[in-house]
Amino acid sequence: MPSTDTRPHVLIVGGGLAGTAVALRLLKDVEQPTRLSIVESRATLGLGTAYGTTHPEHLVNGLAKLFSLYNDEPDHLVRWLRAGAAAGGWQPPAGVAIEDSMPPRQVYGAYILASLTAAISGAGRRVEFRHLQARAVDVVAQYDTGRPRYRVVLDDGREELADELVLATGIFTKPLARQAFAVGAGVAASPRYVGDIWHPRAWDGAAQDAQIVYLGAGLSAVDSLIMAEKAGFGGQHLVLSRRGQGVRVREDVQPWPDFLRYQPEAVSLRALLAQIRVQRRAALAQGESWQRLVPVIRAHVPQLWSLASARERRRFLGRLRAYWEASLHRSAAAPLAWQARVQAEGRHRHEAGRVQSIAVQPDGRLAVAWQPRDGGPVQTVMADRVVNCLGFDFDWRHIDDPLVRQLVARGLAQPDPLGFGVQATRETHALRDAAGQPQPGLYAVGHALRGLVWESNAIGEQVPQAGTVGRAILQRLAPAAAAEALARAAASSDEAVRRQRADAKARTPQG
């Protein structure tokens, strides 16, 4: 039977940081009666992959003053930390102000949960909030009213009809079969291969290992090293990365004055690099850190990416992406101290080279063959454990997820031609369909928008995106609110007429 509930239904697919940020925005700003649902298979909303860690050594990779969940309340996190974090047993390091601290990710996770609880309570009866613990596997657009709605199919057989649908699908692991090296039979199923560093059993038996090989040298490799050491590992750590770029310590520095100049119709990677090199030399000459340039450049990235030609984007991906990401994704000093300690003990080595193959050996160990970047002979190391830290899969043309496959197959999502999420509008983040047309009421936030703005994986990007999508939804709900008021008035009028007729019939003599 069709529902008689006239309240608009906003449904968010994905309950990690990005999806929860959209929910927070709506819970705070929506004024009309609304149903709000989040589809998330995890039992707890808001934590996702990043903030569900139980290791206090894993810190957020930025200052607390920059990580508010509300971009119109930049001190929201700092106020929460001052009021409640100490009660939970956390204090910033001696001499560091709370706003300049990098709290543990589990503390930030507690902040997300507390903010969501407070927002639901604050919305009161205006918003009926639901957590649907399931996975979305299909979306079908239907046009039974004057505007499109979206029927979302869940893996447990339930179906939900959404007036506004937000895709906060998060990250996807890139399968071994699509890596740029040969993978032998049995590697993916081997207990010695760690494809998910956060899996509860990922580090079982690490105390008995003698050699761990990490594929990739980013922040995940640092997280993994800490978990291996805490699990009792006392052997050798070997990190392999194509360019040998390691994680740097994030310095607390003020941004350099804005210096980038470019013509919108002729963005040139070479010209931009020339400007950056000039400023880098100027900073070094003044005894200043090159890290002062990073936030200046980052502020321009969304516009630069949107203006750059496909040729310039490919140049960036092929030549500079690794260097930019190593400069941007830095770490607090405390996590890197673990790596420094094992280096001092002679147990850590980082080599620049390209992995050639991984194969299971008769004794169960994994043989990793790799080619040094300087062109030296291929080397092979026998690993007791191989840890995949190569990042995630953003290519919606190949991601093996039922929802992603169906969205593309139905023409509701147009994959980015370079393999980074989907095409969407800059104004509202509405998805473009297979024909390139924006789809009313269907949005994306977070990692799916990398093809639109490039940097789309951190709090500093996802919270503003949540604001953009939230405002777009509220603007679309305003006409719906008027229609709902008319419907209620009409229903009230019909009820009054019915009662009048009933009263008149009751007064009419029978016989």
- CA angle at residue 117 from 116 to 119, to 5 degrees? 65
pLDDT tens-digit series, residues 364-423? 999 999 999 999 999 999 999 999 999 899 999 999 999 999 999 999 999 999 999 999
pLDDT tens-digit series, residues 69-112? 999 999 999 999 998 776 667 889 888 999 999 999 999 999 99
* Cβ neighbours for 168, distance < 8 A, ≥ 6 positions apart: 12, 13, 14, 15, 16, 18, 19, 22, 444, 445, 446
**In order of start, what are the domains of the chain with their CATH numbers?**
9-58+104-173+395-485 (3.50.50.60), 176-248+331-390 (3.50.50.60), 269-326 (no CATH)
* β partners of residue 139: 152
- Per-residue pLDDT for 251 more than 50? yes
Contact 403, 136 (CB under 8 A): yes
Distance CA 394, CA 273 (A): 26
Q: How many residues does the chain have?
A: 511
Q: What is the pLDDT of residue 204?
A: 96
Count of Cβ atoms closer than 10 Å to residue 367 Cβ:
17
pLDDT tens-digit series, residues 262-301? 999 889 999 999 999 999 999 999 999 999 999 999 999 9
**Which pTM does this prediction carry?**
0.89
Higher pLDDT, 313 or 508: 313
- Per-residue pLDDT for 486 more than 70? no
Q: What is the pLDDT of residue 511?
A: 42
Report the half-sphere exposure of 175 (CA within 13 A, side-chain side). 7
Count of Cβ atoms closer than 10 Å to residue 298 Cβ:
18
Smallest Cα–Cα separation from 272: which of 261, 284, 256, 258?
Answer: 261
Q: What are phi and psi of 48, to 5 degrees?
A: 55, -150
